[in-house]
Amino acid sequence: MTKIFDIFKNKSDTPPELWSEVEPLVAPYKKETWVPATTKGSTSYLASKFSGIPALLKGEEWPCCGSCKKPMQLFVQLNSNNLPDSVKGIFGDGLLQAFYCTNSEDECDEICESYFPFSKATSARLISLDESELVEHTGNLVEETFPEKQITDWEAQDDYPNWEELEDLGVKLTEEHVSVMREMGFPREKDKLLGWPNWIQGVEYPSCPECNKAMKLVFQIDSEDNLPFMFGDAGCAHITQCEEHKEQLTIAWACG
Protein backbone atom coordinates (compact mmCIF):
# COMPACT_ATOMS: atom_id res chain seq x y z
CA MET A 1 0.00 0.00 0.00
CA THR A 2 3.08 2.28 0.06
CA LYS A 3 2.28 3.78 -3.34
CA ILE A 4 -1.45 4.13 -2.76
CA PHE A 5 -1.43 7.93 -3.12
CA ASP A 6 0.00 7.60 -6.63
CA ILE A 7 -3.43 6.36 -7.68
CA PHE A 8 -5.12 9.53 -6.48
CA LYS A 9 -3.00 12.38 -7.79
CA ASN A 10 -5.88 14.27 -9.40
CA LYS A 11 -8.00 15.92 -6.73
CA SER A 12 -11.72 16.44 -7.28
CA ASP A 13 -14.72 17.58 -5.28
CA THR A 14 -15.51 14.99 -2.63
CA PRO A 15 -19.21 14.28 -2.01
CA PRO A 16 -20.08 15.24 1.58
CA GLU A 17 -21.39 11.75 2.31
CA LEU A 18 -17.98 10.24 1.59
CA TRP A 19 -16.22 12.59 4.00
CA SER A 20 -18.91 11.86 6.60
CA GLU A 21 -17.80 8.21 6.48
CA VAL A 22 -14.13 9.04 7.01
CA GLU A 23 -14.33 11.92 9.47
CA PRO A 24 -15.43 9.86 12.51
CA LEU A 25 -12.48 7.52 11.96
CA VAL A 26 -9.87 10.29 11.89
CA ALA A 27 -11.54 12.86 14.17
CA PRO A 28 -9.48 11.91 17.28
CA TYR A 29 -6.34 12.91 15.39
CA LYS A 30 -7.46 16.29 14.07
CA LYS A 31 -4.95 19.06 14.69
CA GLU A 32 -4.92 22.75 13.90
CA THR A 33 -2.33 23.93 11.43
CA TRP A 34 -1.49 27.53 10.59
CA VAL A 35 -0.78 28.75 7.06
CA PRO A 36 1.39 31.89 6.83
CA ALA A 37 0.29 35.00 4.94
CA THR A 38 3.30 36.88 3.57
CA THR A 39 4.33 40.12 1.96
CA LYS A 40 7.50 40.74 -0.03
CA GLY A 41 10.13 43.16 1.19
CA SER A 42 12.73 43.71 3.87
CA THR A 43 11.61 43.90 7.47
CA SER A 44 12.98 43.89 11.01
CA TYR A 45 15.76 41.48 11.85
CA LEU A 46 13.46 40.20 14.64
CA ALA A 47 10.47 39.55 12.38
CA SER A 48 8.97 36.20 11.43
CA LYS A 49 9.98 35.71 7.82
CA PHE A 50 11.26 33.60 4.98
CA SER A 51 14.85 34.37 3.93
CA GLY A 52 16.46 37.76 4.53
CA ILE A 53 18.83 38.73 7.33
CA PRO A 54 18.54 36.77 10.57
CA ALA A 55 19.05 38.00 14.09
CA LEU A 56 22.46 36.83 15.33
CA LEU A 57 23.85 36.45 18.81
CA LYS A 58 26.46 39.00 19.81
CA GLY A 59 29.93 37.82 18.91
CA GLU A 60 28.83 35.02 16.56
CA GLU A 61 29.43 34.76 12.83
CA TRP A 62 26.71 34.13 10.27
CA PRO A 63 26.03 30.33 10.38
CA CYS A 64 28.11 28.59 7.71
CA CYS A 65 27.95 25.25 5.92
CA GLY A 66 30.12 22.57 7.48
CA SER A 67 31.36 21.53 4.03
CA CYS A 68 31.94 24.61 1.83
CA LYS A 69 32.24 26.98 4.84
CA LYS A 70 30.10 29.59 3.09
CA PRO A 71 27.21 31.39 4.80
CA MET A 72 24.00 29.38 4.74
CA GLN A 73 20.73 30.87 3.57
CA LEU A 74 18.11 31.70 6.18
CA PHE A 75 15.07 29.65 5.15
CA VAL A 76 12.73 30.69 7.92
CA GLN A 77 12.76 32.67 11.15
CA LEU A 78 9.83 32.48 13.57
CA ASN A 79 9.45 34.94 16.42
CA SER A 80 7.54 33.29 19.27
CA ASN A 81 5.80 36.62 19.95
CA ASN A 82 4.38 36.66 16.41
CA LEU A 83 2.62 33.29 16.58
CA PRO A 84 -1.15 32.86 16.91
CA ASP A 85 -2.27 33.37 20.51
CA SER A 86 -3.32 29.75 21.02
CA VAL A 87 0.15 28.41 20.15
CA LYS A 88 2.45 31.11 21.53
CA GLY A 89 5.40 29.44 23.19
CA ILE A 90 4.78 26.14 21.37
CA PHE A 91 8.49 25.81 20.55
CA GLY A 92 9.70 27.94 23.48
CA ASP A 93 10.29 31.67 23.88
CA GLY A 94 12.67 33.07 21.31
CA LEU A 95 13.55 33.02 17.64
CA LEU A 96 13.39 29.71 15.81
CA GLN A 97 15.73 29.78 12.83
CA ALA A 98 16.47 27.28 10.07
CA PHE A 99 19.48 27.69 7.77
CA TYR A 100 20.27 25.70 4.63
CA CYS A 101 23.29 25.68 2.32
CA THR A 102 22.12 26.47 -1.21
CA ASN A 103 25.62 26.31 -2.70
CA SER A 104 24.99 24.03 -5.69
CA GLU A 105 28.44 24.63 -7.15
CA ASP A 106 30.12 22.65 -4.35
CA GLU A 107 27.28 20.08 -4.22
CA CYS A 108 26.85 20.49 -0.48
CA ASP A 109 23.35 19.01 -0.72
CA GLU A 110 24.77 15.72 -1.93
CA ILE A 111 28.05 15.68 -0.02
CA CYS A 112 26.43 16.48 3.33
CA GLU A 113 23.22 14.54 2.65
CA SER A 114 21.17 17.55 3.66
CA TYR A 115 17.96 15.54 3.36
CA PHE A 116 18.94 13.75 6.60
CA PRO A 117 18.43 15.39 10.02
CA PHE A 118 21.42 17.11 11.64
CA SER A 119 23.30 17.50 8.36
CA LYS A 120 26.42 19.70 8.27
CA ALA A 121 24.79 21.68 5.45
CA THR A 122 21.81 22.71 7.57
CA SER A 123 21.15 24.23 10.97
CA ALA A 124 18.02 24.71 13.07
CA ARG A 125 18.09 26.44 16.42
CA LEU A 126 16.21 28.47 19.03
CA ILE A 127 17.88 31.64 20.29
CA SER A 128 17.00 34.30 22.83
CA LEU A 129 14.67 37.19 22.03
CA ASP A 130 16.55 39.46 24.42
CA GLU A 131 17.70 42.32 22.22
CA SER A 132 20.64 42.95 24.55
CA GLU A 133 22.00 39.56 23.42
CA LEU A 134 21.34 40.06 19.70
CA VAL A 135 22.78 42.05 16.83
CA GLU A 136 21.43 43.07 13.44
CA HIS A 137 23.82 42.12 10.64
CA THR A 138 24.64 44.97 8.27
CA GLY A 139 24.07 42.97 5.08
CA ASN A 140 23.19 39.58 3.64
CA LEU A 141 26.30 37.43 3.21
CA VAL A 142 24.62 34.73 1.13
CA GLU A 143 25.35 34.58 -2.58
CA GLU A 144 22.18 34.60 -4.70
CA THR A 145 19.99 35.23 -1.71
CA PHE A 146 16.26 34.56 -1.97
CA PRO A 147 13.77 37.44 -1.83
CA GLU A 148 12.69 38.19 1.74
CA LYS A 149 9.06 37.64 2.72
CA GLN A 150 7.61 38.80 6.03
CA ILE A 151 5.02 36.60 7.71
CA THR A 152 2.20 39.03 8.46
CA ASP A 153 -0.62 36.75 9.57
CA TRP A 154 -1.69 33.13 10.11
CA GLU A 155 -4.76 31.28 8.84
CA ALA A 156 -6.00 28.36 10.93
CA GLN A 157 -6.96 25.15 9.11
CA ASP A 158 -7.85 21.62 10.18
CA ASP A 159 -5.26 18.96 9.51
CA TYR A 160 -5.15 15.16 9.68
CA PRO A 161 -2.36 12.55 9.31
CA ASN A 162 -1.72 10.63 6.11
CA TRP A 163 -2.88 7.02 5.78
CA GLU A 164 0.46 5.56 6.86
CA GLU A 165 0.66 7.59 10.04
CA LEU A 166 -2.97 6.79 10.77
CA GLU A 167 -2.14 3.12 10.40
CA ASP A 168 0.65 3.54 12.97
CA LEU A 169 -1.98 5.10 15.24
CA GLY A 170 -4.26 2.10 14.83
CA VAL A 171 -6.62 3.46 12.15
CA LYS A 172 -6.85 1.39 8.98
CA LEU A 173 -8.48 3.07 6.01
CA THR A 174 -9.84 1.52 2.84
CA GLU A 175 -8.48 2.67 -0.49
CA GLU A 176 -11.65 4.70 -0.98
CA HIS A 177 -11.12 6.38 2.40
CA VAL A 178 -7.54 7.18 1.49
CA SER A 179 -8.76 8.72 -1.76
CA VAL A 180 -11.21 10.89 0.17
CA MET A 181 -8.47 12.08 2.55
CA ARG A 182 -6.26 12.98 -0.38
CA GLU A 183 -9.05 14.80 -2.21
CA MET A 184 -9.84 16.77 0.94
CA GLY A 185 -6.20 17.91 1.03
CA PHE A 186 -5.05 16.03 4.14
CA PRO A 187 -2.42 16.29 5.37
CA ARG A 188 -2.07 19.90 4.23
CA GLU A 189 0.62 20.63 1.68
CA LYS A 190 2.58 23.90 1.38
CA ASP A 191 4.27 25.87 4.17
CA LYS A 192 2.59 25.58 7.54
CA LEU A 193 3.07 25.84 11.29
CA LEU A 194 2.26 22.70 13.33
CA GLY A 195 -0.35 20.23 12.10
CA TRP A 196 0.68 16.89 10.58
CA PRO A 197 3.69 16.41 8.29
CA ASN A 198 3.00 15.87 4.61
CA TRP A 199 5.30 12.87 4.37
CA ILE A 200 6.58 12.13 0.86
CA GLN A 201 8.26 8.76 1.36
CA GLY A 202 6.97 7.58 4.72
CA VAL A 203 6.80 8.53 8.38
CA GLU A 204 10.27 9.80 9.27
CA TYR A 205 10.29 11.62 12.61
CA PRO A 206 13.93 12.16 13.66
CA SER A 207 15.03 10.97 17.08
CA CYS A 208 16.30 13.41 19.68
CA PRO A 209 20.08 12.97 20.16
CA GLU A 210 19.64 13.33 23.93
CA CYS A 211 16.64 11.15 24.80
CA ASN A 212 16.08 9.22 21.56
CA LYS A 213 12.38 10.11 21.55
CA ALA A 214 10.63 11.03 18.31
CA MET A 215 10.79 14.74 17.61
CA LYS A 216 7.62 16.71 16.80
CA LEU A 217 6.75 18.84 13.78
CA VAL A 218 7.11 22.57 14.28
CA PHE A 219 7.10 23.88 10.72
CA GLN A 220 6.77 22.49 7.21
CA ILE A 221 8.55 24.06 4.23
CA ASP A 222 7.29 22.81 0.90
CA SER A 223 9.08 23.08 -2.42
CA GLU A 224 8.62 26.42 -4.18
CA ASP A 225 5.92 27.82 -1.92
CA ASN A 226 7.27 30.87 -0.08
CA LEU A 227 10.88 30.02 -0.94
CA PRO A 228 12.03 29.67 -4.58
CA PHE A 229 13.72 26.37 -3.77
CA MET A 230 12.96 22.75 -4.60
CA PHE A 231 13.93 19.93 -2.27
CA GLY A 232 15.13 17.29 -4.71
CA ASP A 233 12.24 16.33 -6.99
CA ALA A 234 9.30 18.29 -5.52
CA GLY A 235 10.17 17.26 -1.97
CA CYS A 236 8.96 18.61 1.34
CA ALA A 237 11.03 19.65 4.37
CA HIS A 238 10.13 19.52 8.05
CA ILE A 239 11.58 21.37 11.02
CA THR A 240 11.19 19.16 14.08
CA GLN A 241 11.94 19.64 17.77
CA CYS A 242 12.23 17.47 20.87
CA GLU A 243 9.37 18.29 23.24
CA GLU A 244 11.60 17.76 26.29
CA HIS A 245 14.92 19.11 25.00
CA LYS A 246 13.74 22.20 23.10
CA GLU A 247 17.28 23.13 22.09
CA GLN A 248 17.29 20.03 19.87
CA LEU A 249 15.92 21.08 16.48
CA THR A 250 16.66 19.95 12.97
CA ILE A 251 15.45 20.24 9.38
CA ALA A 252 15.19 17.28 7.00
CA TRP A 253 13.36 16.49 3.79
CA ALA A 254 12.35 13.77 1.37
CA CYS A 255 11.15 13.64 -2.22
CA GLY A 256 9.34 11.16 -4.42
Checking if the pLDDT of 38 tops 50, the result is: yes
Each residue of 112-139: pLDDT tens digit? 999 999 999 999 999 999 999 999 888 8
Sign for the pseudo-dihedral over CA of 232, 235, 241, 243? negative
All structural domains of the chain, each given as residue ranges with its CATH number in brackets, are 4-254 (2.30.320.10)
DSSP run (H or E) holding 150 = strand 149-159
Strands 49-50 vs 73-79: parallel, antiparallel or unpaired: antiparallel
Each residue of 149-193: pLDDT tens digit? 999 999 999 999 999 999 999 999 999 999 999 999 999 999 999
- What is the rounded distance in angstroms from the CA atom of residue 230 to the CA atom of residue 224? 6
Checking if the pLDDT of 6 tops 50, the result is: no
Angle (CA) 230-216-56 rounded to 5° is: 65
Q: What residues contact 188, with CB distance under 8 A and at least 6 apart?
A: 33, 35, 157, 159, 195, 196, 198
Arithmetic mean of pLDDT over the chain: 93
Each residue of 209-232: pLDDT tens digit? 999 999 999 999 999 999 999 999
Q: Helices 175-183 & 16-26, crossing angle to 10 degrees?
A: 100
pLDDT band at 14 (very low <50, low <70, confident <90, very high): low
